[in-house]
Amino acid sequence: MENILEVQSLGKRYVSSGTGVVEVFHDISFEVKPGEIVALTGPSGSGKSTLLNLIGTLDIPSSGNIIIEGEDTSELSSSELASFRNKKIGFIFQFHHLLPEFTAIENIGMPALIAGKKLESATKRAEELLAEVGLLERKSHRPAELSGGEAQRVAVARAFMMQPALVLADEPTGNLDNENSDKLFDLMLSLASKFNQTFIIATHNTDLAQKAQRRFHLEKGELHEY
């Protein structure tokens, strides 16, 4: 396949009666090939989260198109989008967003169960991923019974569960100390390359961004590759 992601002339303006109009960007285009690891840097407020939310189909562009594995996401209905998102996109956020009532292994397996996979196969893959992130012995812990760094590793494993077209990470190390932040970053990169998983990560940390294959910088509505 040529490109796994095509962002075409993408624009986003937020409009609300309280805050007026904020135009974050109006014409951003780029392509990502399967297996590429891309870092997205830019100052606070430049639109990194906005861009990831649009790519992840969590928000709707004001203009332009997002094509994922050849599928124009603007043509999907909201129920098609929910299932598309579950199968095709893995998310890692600054805070883990794990389900509090479920154990580590259940949280990781959840996307597969939602997609209608059998419990047994879901559990088997979830266990493999839990081992990959070094937490097999924390399998039955609920999120509140994990450290911040451990919970993030569970969230990483969950994002890889469906072998999605794209894994999107928004400042996933922002809540960790330097040492754990470096470790988590290296873990995500090694999993992405091991599973040949296309990966886009927004980060303030330009040292960490150096470790990616490609780097984009977003500032004042412009995106530059550097």
Q: In the complex, which residues of this chain contact ligand ATP (CB under 6 A)? A: 14, 16, 19, 22, 24, 42, 44-50
* Euclidean distance between CA atoms 225 and 217, whole angstroms: 6
Given the complex with ligand ATP, which of 109 and 172 has the nearer CB atom?
172
Given the complex with ligand ATP, which of 58 and 113 has the nearer CB atom?
58
Scanning residues 135 to 164, which ones bind Mg ion (CB under 5 A)?
A: none
Binding segment for Mg ion (CB under 5 A), chosen from 10-18, 47-55, 63-71, 191-199, is 47-55
Report how far apart, in Å, the C-alpha atoms of 51 and of each of 16, 56, 111, 114 are: 19, 8, 23, 26
Q: Counting contacts by CB under 5 A, is residue 197 touching Mg ion?
A: no
Q: How far is the CB of 21 from ligand ATP (least distance, A)?
A: 9
Q: Determine contact, residues 196/166, Cβ cutoff 8 Å.
A: no
Binding segment for Mg ion (CB under 5 A), chosen from 10-18, 27-35, 48-56, 67-75, is 48-56
Q: How far is the CB of 57 from Mg ion (least distance, A)?
A: 17
Q: Determine contact, residues 215/36, Cβ cutoff 8 Å.
A: no
Among 46, 49, 57, 103, binds Mg ion (CB under 5 A): 49
Residue closest to Mg ion, measured at CB: 49
Counting other chains too, the contacts that 205-212 makes at CB distance below 8 Å and 24 or more residues apart are 205/173, 205/181, 206/41, 208/39, 208/173, 208/181, 208/182, 209/39, 209/41, 211/39, 211/185, 211/186, 212/37, 212/38, 212/39
Q: How far is the CB of 205 from ligand ATP (least distance, A)?
A: 11
User: Residue 22 binds what, of ligand ATP, Mg ion, none (CB under 5 to 8 Å, by partner type)?
Assistant: ligand ATP
Q: How far is the CB of 35 from ligand ATP (least distance, A)?
A: 25
Report how far apart, in Å, the C-alpha atoms of 117 and of each of 112, 113, 122, 124 are: 5, 5, 6, 11
